[in-house]
A and B are shown apart, each in its own frame.
Chain A
Amino acid sequence: MTAVPEPFDVAGAGLHDPREPGAEVTTHAYLCTGCPLGCRLEVDARDGDVLEVRGFSCRRGERYGRQEHVDPRRPLSTTVWVEGATIRRVPVRTAEPIPKAQVVTVAEALRGLRIRAPVRRGDVVLADALGTGTDVIVTRDLDRVAG
């Protein structure tokens, strides 16, 4: 079952029970991108509080529905220029999903970056990317080659 905030849990806020009539309950449709299954989620919310998520088939899906309604996030994968390796771009990704609205700006910031081989999977190329609190890490090893 979905957790509904207790009526008296907000200090100083007085009575606030999202289950009580007042603000309208709205239902929002999302498609879970947590795995290839693509569950169609329905999220009931009132005043930005998620009351219930339906349509998920795993816990990841329920979490996705809550997160998506309140603060949509996406993993970002891109590449950065690498010198001294057999290939010219090294794949990188955010260690955790970042706010959806910042995906493009973080990708833009990474476009100007140049790094040198060798690199190892997990190396940080950009710490706390644009204040998202998430590092951007390398996703493969690349040795340094002569020349």
Chain B
Amino acid sequence: MVLTAEPRNLASRYDVVIVGAGPAGMAAALGARDRGAARVLLVDREVEAGGILLQCIHAGFGLHAFDEEITGPEYAQRFFEQVLEQDVDVLTDGYVMDVASGGRVKLMSPSVGVTGVDAGAVVLAMGARERTRGAIRIPGDRPSGVMTAGLAQKLVNLDGYLPGRRAVILGSGDIGLIMARRLVLEGVEVVGVFELLSHPSGLTRNVVQCLDDFDIPLHLSTTVVGIHGRDRLERVTVAPVDDDRVPIMAKAWDVDCDTLLLSIGLIPDAELARTVGAQMDPLTGGPVVSGTMETTVPGVFAAGNVVHVNDLADWVSMEARVAGDGAGALATGARRPEQDIRLLPGDNVAYVVPHTISSDRPHTVSFRVRRPIHGPTLLRLSDVHQRKVRAVVPAEMVTLKVAPRLLEGFHGDVLRVDAIPATDDRAGEDPS
């Protein structure tokens, strides 16, 4: 089965319309169907469903969703098969322009032109996009050969082009690490990976299996401070940084290369959320969401990387099931649970999703730490709930599962989420 569906005659009304058919959108569609939404429409701007999974040809997907490790395309195809089995309408090569109040979804595609469908609820599942050179303002020339790691991934894995012959990678995010290995396997020389921070941004296992396995050097606390080349990139200047992340120019050196890949982070692709007037969270760059993943615009839900950047597609799909469930429930007339408990990031917590929860159902609270703690760490939800983990790093999202019984009697309260060393006196734990 191929990941496209013939555009059928679109119905004029759907219970749930989902924007984006990646790991979030497909799971949201299944969640909505499970909750009894009869008519579900999945729209994607690409010619195939699957989203970024299609270019993520490496293994590492599915350990949670399918209990086995598979590649991105396999993960996409399995989800898509379920989506079609569930009789979800799929419109690929389609673009959602706006969601008007009252749930009128304005969209366009070559097959249906510009049109509108009415939706009982909408799920935003547009994912994230990559930060570019402009976001970190590297000085120097503007030659070709400088691109984001994800774009290089698309060129190599889908389009069949190599980005160059000798590459430098800036940023040790997972996409950059994966691309370092990918380029080596396609015969490109990878000179090194440079990371501004003193610790890798990606998963440790990717440092091991993508860099160490291929003897690719990782330069921590080092960044690119200059780009040189008239038409094509010829070399970059790199320099170590001090504790305040200021480059030490006296110690800078040049690295010859014709390609510079940037793996410097993702930002939620949340334009549509802004357009519809959803309140945004400056900490995540995505919309503020409730425990059912509903934004502040009634009937508009959001899930996955458009809400906050996850490290695993499996987490995205799980979260999107919640959104699909919420959207399906609302569209079929269920009452919205009262979201009267606010969650706030506390000690060493960069952000928390969702932003509010209700005491009527279990919740999975996701968050990211600001600083690594290399030892037993207490993840704490005020004095309601806590969990001890072996260590935390900013690269790895952490979760707390909160059972409804823990929230009994909490109404209108604010709960803080902290990530602190478990040896901390306040934790009442023995040092171990």
Interface of A toward B, CB cutoff 8 Å: 31-36, 38, 74-79, 81, 86-89, 91, 93, 100, 103-104, 107-108, 111, 121, 139-143
Residues of A within 8 A of B54 (CB): 140
Residues of B within 8 A of A75 (CB): 59, 69
Residues of A within 8 A of B396 (CB): 36
Residue ID in chain B nearest A85 by CB atoms: B2
Residue ID in chain A nearest B391 by CB atoms: A40
B213 and A36 form a contact (CB under 8 A): no
Partner of A140, one of B73, B184, B213: B73
Q: Within 8 Å of chain A (Cβ to Cβ): is B130?
A: no
A139 and B74 form a contact (CB under 8 A): yes
A36 and B311 form a contact (CB under 8 A): yes
Residue ID in chain B nearest A35 by CB atoms: B63
A31 and B205 form a contact (CB under 8 A): yes
B205 and A36 form a contact (CB under 8 A): yes
| Cross-chain pairs A/B with CB under 8 angstroms, 28 sampled | A31-B204, A31-B208, A33-B208, A35-B63, A35-B69, A36-B63, A36-B203, A36-B205, A38-B203, A38-B204, A77-B58, A87-B159, A88-B159, A88-B160, A89-B157, A91-B71, A93-B71, A104-B184, A107-B185, A107-B186, A108-B187, A139-B70, A139-B71, A140-B3, A140-B77, A141-B1, A141-B77, A142-B2
Q: Chain B: interface residue count, which band?
A: 35 or more
Partner of B156, one of A76, A79, A100, A121: A79
- Assuming A79-B156, A81-B160, is B57 touching A143 (CB within 8 A)? no
Residue ID in chain B nearest A86 by CB atoms: B47
B158 and A89 form a contact (CB under 8 A): yes
- Inter-chain CA distance A113–B311, complex, in Å, is 33
- Contact flags (1/0) for B321-351 with A, using CB distance below 8 Å? 0000000000000000000000000000000
Q: Within 8 Å of chain A (Cβ to Cβ): is B101?
A: no
- Contact flags (1/0) for B1-44 with A, using CB distance below 8 Å? 11100000000000000000000000000000000000000000
- Inter-chain CA distance A119–B54, complex, in Å, is 15
**9 tightest A-B CB contacts, nearest first:** A88-B160, A91-B57, A140-B73, A38-B204, A107-B185, A33-B205, A38-B205, A77-B58, A33-B209
Q: Within 8 Å of chain A (Cβ to Cβ): is B60?
A: yes
Interface of B toward A, CB cutoff 8 Å: 1-3, 47-48, 54, 57-60, 63, 69-74, 76-77, 156-160, 182, 184-187, 203-205, 208-209, 213-214, 311-312, 396
Residue ID in chain A nearest B64 by CB atoms: A35
Closest Cβ of chain B to A29, distance in Å, is 11
A89 and B159 form a contact (CB under 8 A): yes
- Inter-chain CA distance A107–B213, complex, in Å, is 14
A104 and B205 form a contact (CB under 8 A): no
Residues of B within 8 A of A88 (CB): 158-160
Closest Cβ of chain B to A147, distance in Å, is 15
Besides A36-B396, A86-B48, A100-B213, 16 other CB < 8 A contacts? A32-B205, A35-B69, A35-B205, A36-B203, A78-B57, A78-B186, A79-B156, A79-B160, A89-B159, A93-B71, A103-B185, A107-B185, A121-B77, A140-B73, A141-B1, A142-B2
- Inter-chain CA distance A141–B257, complex, in Å, is 36
Residues of B within 8 A of A142 (CB): 2
B71 and A77 form a contact (CB under 8 A): yes
Closest Cβ of chain A to B225, distance in Å, is 31
Residue ID in chain A nearest B59 by CB atoms: A75
Residues of A within 8 A of B74 (CB): 121, 139-140
B186 and A139 form a contact (CB under 8 A): no
A77 and B187 form a contact (CB under 8 A): no
